[in-house]
Structures are given as structure tokens and as C-alpha cells.
Amino acid sequence: MNPLKLLEDLVVEHGSAKIQKTHIDFLKDQITVLQCCVSQLESTNSTLRERLRKSEADKPPSHDLNFKEGLCWREGDDSPFCPGCYDGTRKAVRLTKQQPPWDEFGDFLCPICKQHFNKG
Ligand SMILES: [Zn+2]
């Protein structure tokens, strides 16, 4: 039962002078219960806010890379990024252009996951 609705009903039905002590005690109990609920909700809210803050802080930044010719590219940037690292961790890892004779396994090397890539 909603304690405020009960109080309103009692006041309307009997007038404030006729409200019985049992009703007042019931309302006090209900308010105590509500205060306890508010306290628990505040605690839960605080815990969840902290969890959300940590989650946001841990989230890797998004770089909006485009996948093209087997590699990832950023608009206006002519050097490619590693598609494996970007798909796995959302980190933009710039590939290293391989010069002869190191280009035997691919034109580019990812310095993080050590995968070789060819353009196209
Ligand atoms: Zn990589």
C-alpha cells in the first residue's frame, strides 16, 4: 500500500484530527522501509557508476578506419593500418613498409601481431 495515498485517503475521509496512531505508526514504518530502499539504491547506483566509469576508461578509442585492398586505411592518410589488430582490439596499428629483401613475406609488416600483408 502506498503510504502517501493512505494518508491522503485518511485526511479526506476523517480529517487530520481523526487519524489514528496506528495509521501514523504504519506510515512511519513505511517511510523507514522507503529510506532503507533509497539507501540501497544509492549504493547500487554508486557501484554501477564506478563500473561504467572504469568500462569507459578501458575502452579502446575508435578510429573509423576503412577496409580496402586487404588493409585498413584512414581518410587522408596514405599509409595502411593492420586489419587484424583493428578487428581484434580496435587499435590503429600502422604497418611498416618492407624493403627488399625483407619483403619476401609481404609488402607490409605489423609491428604488434607480426603478420605480413600485401596490398591488393
Ligand atoms: Zn597487427
- What residues does each domain of the chain span? 3-58, 66-117
For position 103, what pLDDT does the model report? 85
Distance of CA 110 from the midpoint of ligand 1 (Å)? 5
Torsions phi, psi for 42 (to 5 deg)? -65, -40
For the beta carbon of residue 71, count every other beta carbon within 10 angstroms.
21
Provide the pLDDT for residue 17: 58
The predicted structure's pLDDT at residue 24: 77
Q: Which residues contact 21 (CB under 8 A, 6 or more apart)?
A: none
Ligand 1 midpoint to CA 3 (Å):
62
Question: Per-residue confidence of the chain (120 residues) as pLDDT tens digits?
Answer: 777 787 778 777 876 656 677 777 888 898 899 999 999 999 999 999 999 998 887 766 666 899 998 999 999 999 999 999 998 888 899 999 999 888 888 999 999 999 999 987
Q: What is the CA radius of gyration of the chain?
A: 32
Ligand 1 centroid from CA 115, angstroms: 6
Distance in Å, CA 69 to ligand 1 centroid: 16
Per-residue pLDDT, 73: 94
Closest by CA to 20, choosing from 29, 33, 11, is 11
CA of 71 to the centre of ligand 1 (A): 11
pLDDT of residue 63: 64
Write down the pLDDT at residue 85.
93
CA 50 to chain centre: 11
For residues 90 and 81, what is the distance between their CA atoms, to the nearest angstrom?
11
Which parts of 1-120 fold into alpha helices (H)? 3-14, 21-58, 83-89
Name the pTM for this structure: 0.49
**Cα–ligand 1 centroid distance for 99 (angstroms):** 18
Residue in this structure with the C-alpha cell 587484424, named with its chain if needed: 84
